[in-house]
Amino acid sequence: MAKSKALYGLDLDADRLRTMYYYMVLSRELDKRIWILNRQGKSAFVISGQGQEGVQVASALALNPATDWLAPYYRDMAMVMAFGMTPREVMLGQLGRALDPSSGGRQMPSHFGHHEKHILTGSSPVATQVVHAVGLAWSMKLKHEAGVVLTSLGEGSTNQGEFHEALNFAAVHRVPVIVLVENNGYAISVPQHREMAIQDVAIRAQGYGIPGVVVRGSDPLEVYQVIYEARRRAIAGDGPTLVEAKTHRYTAHSSDDDDRSYRSREQLEEEKRDDAVVRFREWLEQEKLWDREAEDTLKKRVKQEVDDATDYAEAAELPDAGTVYDHVYGSSPA
């Protein structure tokens, strides 16, 4: 774990560290609840971020939601919550309810978007959001707005042409964007060595003439530092940064996948020994910022919030079939 002293200089204080841990636990528990709803037949599809919470929460907390934007991908539940989406809002989307702020129940779950909270709507074809993030950040620069855009994607998605086009464009125009690769080692079933002939996605940055940084995803403080610095560079006009966080995916790709067919249980157990949620709690305890009592209180609070989100979303209305034609076009003044 990175040294705490350095971190206090980076805007982190004890409350913020506890908040970081809170969002990690909240996301883990909400995610687990969603799997239960899926197995109960109440939610048709789950795509999970378990294992990646450390990267996601630390990244979101290194940003300023008032000025910055996220262009996330479908595993980023912890990230969007740490950026301002509530568990209720997440659950409304998970259950396809009319009030789902991402899409009104139109998209598959975990396709997060929230205009008011500066979370850009995304799709399922991977890496398309990287280009949007670059365009949005570029427009901030053109409009002299002080802000950055953080976009995230998996390592498999970095093989897409749009990833390359986006980073090249961002580098040429020194766009204030942070591209965060959450490298969990698998593109559904295909391991990294079958996706690319390099160890570190971050070295792809060299091809664009921008910094590429590798961080350990189970160390949220290191992630925070790197994203914080990338943001500082971006705001200062120094352009984009590619950040690769080595992380883990503790579930199958989705509720329609079975990872036992391509990942041994021993391998998974090995990965679980590097769990950011556990490691960060241990560090907090070591720093005397956390104890058993705090943990019990947090667990109760989170369970209550997860229950509340579940009950709220289950009771919420489904979309009216008559709205299927809504929002194809807006009204045009022409």
β-strands 69-71, 149-154: how paired?
Answer: parallel
* Token pair for 124: 């399922």
CA angle 104, 180, 154 (to 5 degrees): 70
**Which residues are at the interface with another protein (CB under 8 A)?**
71, 100-107, 111, 113-115, 120-121, 123, 125, 128, 131-140, 142-143, 145, 149, 161-162, 165-166, 168-169, 172, 326-334
Taking the CB of residue 104, how many other CB atoms lie within 10 A of it?
A: 17
Q: Which amino acid is at 199?
A: Q
325 is catalytic: no
Catalytic position from the list 33, 111, 249, 281: 249
CB 256 → another protein: shortest distance, Å?
Answer: 21
Of 142 and 198, nearer to another protein (C-beta) is 142
| Dist. CA 150–CA 168, nearest whole Å | 16
Provide the phi-psi class of 51: left if phi over 0, else alpha when psi is between -120 and 50, else beta.
Answer: left
CB 221 → another protein: shortest distance, Å?
Answer: 30
Helix ranges, the chain (H): 4-8, 14-39, 53-61, 77-82, 87-94, 128-142, 161-172, 192-195, 220-235, 265-272, 276-286, 292-315
| Dist. CA 299–CA 21, nearest whole Å | 11
CB 197 → another protein: shortest distance, Å?
Answer: 23
Of 54 and 240, nearer to another protein (C-beta) is 240
CB 101 → another protein: shortest distance, Å?
Answer: 7
| Dist. CA 304–CA 3, nearest whole Å | 33
| Dist. CA 185–CA 193, nearest whole Å | 9
Of 172 and 318, nearer to another protein (C-beta) is 172
Catalytic position from the list 164, 262, 263, 279: 262
253 is catalytic: yes
| Dist. CA 20–CA 147, nearest whole Å | 22
262 is catalytic: yes
* Token pair for 144: 């002299």
Of 86 and 121, nearer to another protein (C-beta) is 121
CB 112 → another protein: shortest distance, Å?
Answer: 11
Of 160 and 189, nearer to another protein (C-beta) is 160
**Block residue for tokens 């109960």:** 40
Of 71 and 210, nearer to another protein (C-beta) is 71
CB 151 → another protein: shortest distance, Å?
Answer: 10
Q: Which amino acid is at 194?
A: R
Catalytic position from the list 248, 253, 281, 312: 253
177 near 137, Cβ under 8 Å?
yes
Catalytic positions, written as ranges: 249, 253, 262
